[in-house]
Chain A
Amino acid sequence: MDLIKTIFRAILSDRLAIFGLVVIILFIFAAIFAPYVAPYEPREIIKDTDTGLVAKYKPPSLKYWFGTDNLARDIFSQVVFGSRIALVVGFLSAILVVFVGTNVGLVAGYYGGRTDNFLMRIVDIAYAIPFIPFAVLLVALLQPSIKNLILVMALLMWRAPARVIRSQVLSLSQRPFVKSARVAGASNMRIIYQHIGPNILPFVFLYIPISVGWAIIAEASVSFLGFGDPRVISWGGMLQIAFASGAMRIAWWWTLAPGLAIVLVVISVYFIGRALEPLANPQLLK
């Protein structure tokens, strides 16, 4: 479809976006092939073959690229395996958030009136709820798990795409091509999804990378606060353990590695999103 072509052209014309794309691809590669990319098992307690001692708190070296932590586990391997959670949470949440947000925006913007009022009041409520406290609360009530974290994202973060898409749909609904479709006899569903829908796709594609960024930071924050899923390795979880062990000031490499990973992924996704922004400008869609 030529929207896909336009998207790729937009990304490839922006150097930062190319950088972002490359980084994301590298991380995806690392996530998929983690067992082959990581030199050690992430939870493996490493015995240093030279000294015969457990390799605790080793700074970065050729043997341990990002050093080791308090339990002699290789940090680089943890980062590699952690990318799985980051990407899964990131993309799954993004898809849910964008799906819910787009549909709410479409329905509210097209029908207007009471439907719009009702849905927008729900958006207002969603905006009023602060994310981290709500996430913590929900996770405390249910159990800390990746599933629940994705649930929290989906419950709240759809609010932003909903508003933006609604305002686009509001103006599109007034255009003669929509009126013509109604006069031809098209049903409301058909108009929303087949006539208006394709015209707001650029916004949808814009919110996907943005939501991925949000989700990754959300997961990291919640895990750092200690409410993450203890069964998985996540970058936020790594930061939490580093903090809890009191070693943050000594083992600087322990926080640097996952922190850097988070920053890299989020920035890359942001660069891609930035390159896609012009797509939302109808004049540039030509």
Chain B
Amino acid sequence: MDQNNRNVNTTNPSETPLLELRDLRKWYVVSQGYFSQIFRTEGQNVKAVDGVDLHIMKGEILGLVGESGSGKSTLGELVVRLQDPTEGSIIFEGTDIATLKGKDLIKFRRHVQVIFQDPYATLNPRFTVYRTVAEPLIVNGFRDKEENMDRVVLALTRAGLKPDETLLEAFPHQISGGQRQRVSVARAIVLEPDLVVADEPVSMLDVSIRSGILHLLEGLRESLGLSIIFISHDLSTVQYLCDRVAIMYLGKVMEIGPTNAVIGHAHHPYARALMNAVPVIDPDIKRDRPEVEGEPPSSIELPPGCRFAPRCPFMTEECNVVEPGLEELKPNHLVRCIHPRMDPLWTD
């Protein structure tokens, strides 16, 4: 699929997003020493996700990019309610699911599923392929064995596998990494969810089989109308698959917009640094190295003002005063910076 077939999102006010995150935060309390507990000084927080506003439409593939410590994986876990948010809302089809519990939470789970990174750890070593894919059905009350078999076979076929008896009875150690990841996809779609959060689904696969999984995900969007949040640190994969991309840094979104606008024309200095850092295959191209200083600070002691300012080559005094908001620079393209760079990224 090349760039021209991009499902570029137009802001259509009449269309409600499938999922909307509003000021979502996840703060972890760092254990306090005895003294601070006695004197009740404020505990320190690791602000893994620190105020994220995001939305995803039906049938859209949204990329979530960031380095380690950016909060992208935590955000993914919040969306599937593997973790509970500290503050903020997660609005799924009109309902805030951030604080759901019990039966309501289980009812919600059918709609949002997850795919993880490590094909070797994502399947229970003691479950056959059949059991792995059938488990979500069993757990959600589908007990009819014949029907379940049909659904499992359908899910495996949709995942690009041949669901013969050998595969159904196989254990994870008997199938390859690529096959395991496909089983993981089958498990995620067997309940026919609306949204799948995929956390680095191809990072641990050999490069020559990655595109198989990427094409698979794209195909599922086409055939099932599936929305996907695709979390990755790898910009080139994100560029290939996603309609829109959000770049995260230290728990907040720095830039978000249509893929081709962000990659290649990024405005935020951090986003541009990321793009410039990606190595180039073509030996004739000599890339400009990213202009970034130092290391990211800890998410406990965030700098005042813009959280990227201390490392930013274009920082001014103003940057350290107030944290900028996400401003819409171009239609559907938002940037959190008071000095966005407007020149194109790559001049070749």
Contact = CB atoms under 8 A, between A and B. Distances in A.
Interface string A270-284: 000000000000100
Given A184-B109, A190-B139, 18 more contacts: A175-B121, A176-B116, A176-B118, A177-B121, A177-B123, A179-B114, A180-B122, A181-B135, A183-B80, A183-B113, A184-B187, A185-B106, A185-B110, A185-B139, A187-B139, A199-B124, A199-B125, A199-B126
B113 A184 contact: yes
Given A183-B109, A183-B113, A183-B114, A285 B125 contact: yes
B136 interface: yes
A226 B129 CA distance: 57
Contacts of A185: 106, 109-110, 136, 139-140
B158 to A, nearest CB: 17
Contacts of A285: 125
A181 B122 CA distance: 10
Contacts of A183: 80-82, 109, 112-114
Nearest to B107: A185
Question: Shortest 9 CB-CB distances between A and B: which pairs?
Answer: A176-B116, A184-B136, A198-B126, A176-B122, A185-B109, A177-B124, A183-B114, A185-B106, A186-B139
Contacts, number: 59
A182 interface: yes
Nearest to B123: A177
A282 B173 CA distance: 11
Interface of A: 175-177, 179-187, 190, 195, 198-199, 282, 285-286
A195 to B, nearest CB: 6
A176 B121 contact: yes
Contacts of A198: 124, 126
A207 B82 CA distance: 33
A177 B117 CA distance: 11
23 contacts: A176-B118, A176-B122, A177-B121, A177-B122, A177-B125, A179-B82, A180-B114, A180-B122, A183-B80, A183-B81, A183-B82, A183-B112, A183-B114, A184-B113, A184-B135, A185-B106, A185-B110, A185-B139, A187-B139, A195-B124, A198-B124, A282-B125, A285-B125
A183 B173 CA distance: 23
B208 to A, nearest CB: 23
Question: B interface, how many residues as a size bin?
Answer: 20 to 34
A186 B139 CA distance: 6
Nearest to B110: A185
B144 to A, nearest CB: 18
A163 to B, nearest CB: 22
Contacts of A187: 139
Contacts of B112: 183
A125 B114 CA distance: 41
A184 B107 CA distance: 10
Contacts of B110: 185
Contacts of A282: 125
A176 B113 CA distance: 13
A195 B116 CA distance: 17
Contacts of B116: 176, 179-180
Nearest to B131: A194
Contacts of A199: 124-126
Nearest to A1: B126
A186 B135 contact: yes
Contacts of B135: 181, 184, 186
Interface in B186-229: 187, 191
A202 to B, nearest CB: 11
A198 B135 CA distance: 15
Given A176-B116, A176-B117, A176-B118, A182 B82 contact: yes
A85 to B, nearest CB: 37
A176 B183 CA distance: 14
A70 B101 CA distance: 72
